[in-house]
Structure 1
Amino acid sequence: MNKFYPALLSCLLAASASWAQHDNNPGSNHGNRFEQLGTMLNTPNGYRSASGAPGPQYWQQKADYDIYAKLDDDKQRLDGSETITYTNNSPDALTYLWVQLDENQHKKDGEAAKMNESKMQSKMSIRQLQGIMGTDLDLGNHIESVKDANGGALPFTINETMMRIELPAPLLHGQKFKFKVNWWYNISDRMTIGGRGGYEYFPEDNNYLYTMTQWYPRMAVYSDFQGWQNKQFIGSGEFALTFGDFKVSMNVPADHLVGGTGQCSNYAQTLTAAQLGRWNKAQTSTTPVEIVTLDEVKNTMKSHATARKTWTFHAENVRDFAWVSSRRIVWDAMSAQIEGGRKAMAMSYYGPEAYPLYRKYSTKVVAHTIKTYSKHTIPYPYPVAISVEAANGMEYPMICFNFGRAEKDGTYSEATKNGMIGVIIHEVGHNFFPMIVNSDERQWTWMDEGLNTFVQYLTEQEWDPKFPSSRGPAYKIVDYMKMPKNQLEPIMTNSENIIMFGPNAYAKPATALNVLRETVMGRELFDYAFKTYAKRWAFKHPTPEDLFRTMEDASAVDLDWFWRGWFYGTEAVDVSLDSVKYYRLNTKNPALEANGDRAAFDHNLENISTTRNKAAGMQFAVEADTSLQDFYSKWDRFAATPMTTKGYQDMYAGLSPDEKKFYDSKSYFYELTFSNKGGLVTPLIIEWTYADGTKEIDNIPAYIWRKNEFKVSKVFAKSKEVKSIKLDPYRQTADIDEANNSWPREYTPSRFELFKQQVLPRGATSGSNPMQDARKGGQ
Structure 2
Amino acid sequence: MPVLVRLLALCLPLLVSLPGVCGPAAPFDDKFRQLEELLPTPNGYRTASGAPGHAYWQQRADYVIRATLDEERRAITASEQITYHNRSPDSLAYLWLQLDQNGLRKDADQRRVLSAPSRQAWLSGDEEQALKFEDLRAIHAGREFDGGFKLGAITLASGQPLAHVVNQTMLRIDLPVALAPGQSITFHIAWSYLINDQKVLVERSGYEYFEDDKNTIFQVAQWFPRMAAYYDAVGWQNKQFLGSGEFTLEFGDYELYLTVPADHVVAATGELQNPQEVLSGTQRERLARAKSSDVPLMVVTPAEALAAEKTRSTAMKTWHYKAANVRDAAWASSRKFIWDAQGLNSGAKRVLAMSYYPNEGNPLWQQYSTRAVAHTIEQYNKYSFDYPYPVALSVNGAVGGMEYPMIAFNGGRPVKDRKTGELTYSKKTKYDLIGVIIHEVGHNYFPMIVNSDERQWTWMDEGLNSFVQYLAEQAWEEDFPSWNGEPRKIVDYMRSQHQVPIMTNSESLLQFSANAYDKPATALNILRETILGRELFDFAFKQYAQRWKFKRPTPADFFRTMEDASGTDLDWFWRGWFYTTDAVDISIDGISEYGVNTKDPEIEKAWKKAQHDAQPLSISAQRNRALPKKIDQDPSLKDFYNRHDDFTVTNKDRNSHAEEMEGLEPWERKLLEQRNAGKYLYLVDFSNLGGLVMPLILEIELKSGKKIIERVPAEVWRYSPAKISKVIVLEEPMVGLVQDPYWETADIDTSNNAWPRKITPSRLELFKQDRDKNNLMKDFNTPLKAAEKAAEAR
Please say whether Structure 1 and Structure 2 have the same fold, judged by a TM-score greater than 0.5.
yes
Q: Output aligned runs, 1:630-649, within 5 Å.
A: none
Indicate the residue corresponding to 1:298 in structure 2. Answer: 306
Which of 725, 729, 733 aligns to 2:737? It is 725
Q: Output aligned runs, 1:377-388, within 5 Å.
A: 377-388=384-395
Q: Output aligned runs, 1:324-473, within 5 Å.
A: 324-338=332-346, 340-391=347-398, 392-408=400-416, 409-473=422-486
Letter in 1 for 2:469: Q
> Residue 229 in 1 paired to residue 237 in 2?
yes
Counterpart CA distance in 2 for 1:619 and 1:388 is 96
8 Å Cα contact 1:590/1:638 also seen in 2: no
Counterpart CA distance in 2 for 1:187 and 1:665 is 81
Indicate the residue corresponding to 1:71 in structure 2. Answer: 69
1:624 CA drift (Å): 9.5
Deviations 1:556-576 (A, max 9, x none): 211111111111111111111
Counterpart CA distance in 2 for 1:752 and 1:573 is 28
Counterpart CA distance in 2 for 1:641 and 1:693 is 41
Which of 676, 698, 713 aligns to 2:688? It is 676
1:88 CA drift (Å): 0.5
1:660 CA drift (Å): 6.2
1:664 CA drift (Å): 5.7
Counterpart CA distance in 2 for 1:235 and 1:367 is 30
- Unmatched segments (≥5 aa) in structure 2: 1-24, 123-129, 417-421, 771-794
- Structure number with the bigger relative contact order (C-alpha 8 A, sep ≥ 6) is 2
Counterpart CA distance in 1 for 2:161 and 2:307 is 47
1:687–1:273 distance in 2 versus 1, CA, 3 Å: same
Indicate the residue corresponding to 1:700 in structure 2. Answer: 712
Letter in 1 for 2:566: S
Deviations 1:319-342 (A, max 9, x none): 00011100111111111233x344
Q: Output aligned runs, 1:546-625, within 5 Å.
A: 546-587=557-598, 597-604=608-615, 606-612=617-623
Letter in 2 for 1:360: Q
Deviates more, 1:263-272 or 1:320-329: 263-272
Indicate the residue corresponding to 2:51 in structure 1. Answer: 53
1:694–1:648 distance in 2 versus 1, CA, 3 Å: farther
8 Å Cα contact 1:29/1:709 also seen in 2: no
Indicate the residue corresponding to 2:20 in structure 1. Answer: none
Deviates more, 1:698-707 or 1:395-404: 698-707
Letter in 1 for 2:764: F
Letter in 1 for 2:436: V
8 Å Cα contact 1:590/1:639 also seen in 2: no
Counterpart CA distance in 2 for 1:267 and 1:116 is 45
Q: Output aligned runs, 1:49-198, within 5 Å.
A: 49-118=47-116, 121=122, 124-131=132-139, 134-198=142-206
1:131 CA drift (Å): 2.3
1:133–1:379 distance in 2 versus 1, CA, 3 Å: closer
1:316 CA drift (Å): 0.6
Counterpart CA distance in 1 for 2:357 and 2:226 is 28
Q: Output aligned runs, 1:200-215, within 5 Å.
A: 200-215=208-223
Q: TM-score, normalised by structure 2?
A: 0.86
SS at match of 2:562: helix
> Residue 477 in 1 paired to residue 490 in 2?
yes
1:410 CA drift (Å): 2.1
Deviations 1:9-63 (A, max 9, x none): xxxxxxxxxxxxxxxxxx9632532211223111111111111111111100000
Indicate the residue corresponding to 1:281 in structure 2. Answer: 289
SS at match of 2:579: coil
1:532 CA drift (Å): 0.8
> Residue 740 in 1 paired to residue 747 in 2?
no
Letter in 2 for 1:155: A
Counterpart CA distance in 2 for 1:133 and 1:186 is 13
Counterpart CA distance in 1 for 2:427 and 2:600 is 66
Counterpart CA distance in 2 for 1:87 and 1:452 is 30
Counterpart CA distance in 1 for 2:616 and 2:637 is 20
Counterpart CA distance in 2 for 1:553 and 1:131 is 49
Counterpart CA distance in 1 for 2:369 and 2:634 is 94
Counterpart CA distance in 2 for 1:382 and 1:449 is 21
Counterpart CA distance in 2 for 1:478 and 1:620 is 63
SS at match of 2:288: helix
Indicate the residue corresponding to 1:219 in structure 2. Answer: 227
8 Å Cα contact 2:451/2:553 also seen in 1: yes
Which of 527, 530, 533 aligns to 1:519? It is 530
Counterpart CA distance in 2 for 1:337 and 1:634 is 92
1:634–1:214 distance in 2 versus 1, CA, 3 Å: same
Counterpart CA distance in 1 for 2:736 and 2:62 is 65
Counterpart CA distance in 2 for 1:402 and 1:244 is 25
Letter in 2 for 1:405: R
Deviations 1:363-422 (A, max 9, x none): 111111111111011111111111112241111111111122101222111111111111
Q: TM-score, normalised by structure 1?
A: 0.88
1:621–1:269 distance in 2 versus 1, CA, 3 Å: farther
Counterpart CA distance in 2 for 1:456 and 1:566 is 20
Indicate the residue corresponding to 2:8 in structure 1. Answer: none
Counterpart CA distance in 1 for 2:162 and 2:144 is 30
SS at match of 2:475: helix
Count, aligned residues: 727
8 Å Cα contact 2:598/2:676 also seen in 1: no
Deviates more, 1:572-581 or 1:585-594: 585-594
Indicate the residue corresponding to 1:11 in structure 2. Answer: none
SS at match of 1:463: coil
Counterpart CA distance in 2 for 1:326 and 1:539 is 32
Deviations 1:47-93 (A, max 9, x none): 11111111111100000011111111111111111111110100111
1:237–1:128 distance in 2 versus 1, CA, 3 Å: farther
- Unmatched segments (≥5 aa) in structure 1: 1-26, 759-779
8 Å Cα contact 1:118/1:132 also seen in 2: no
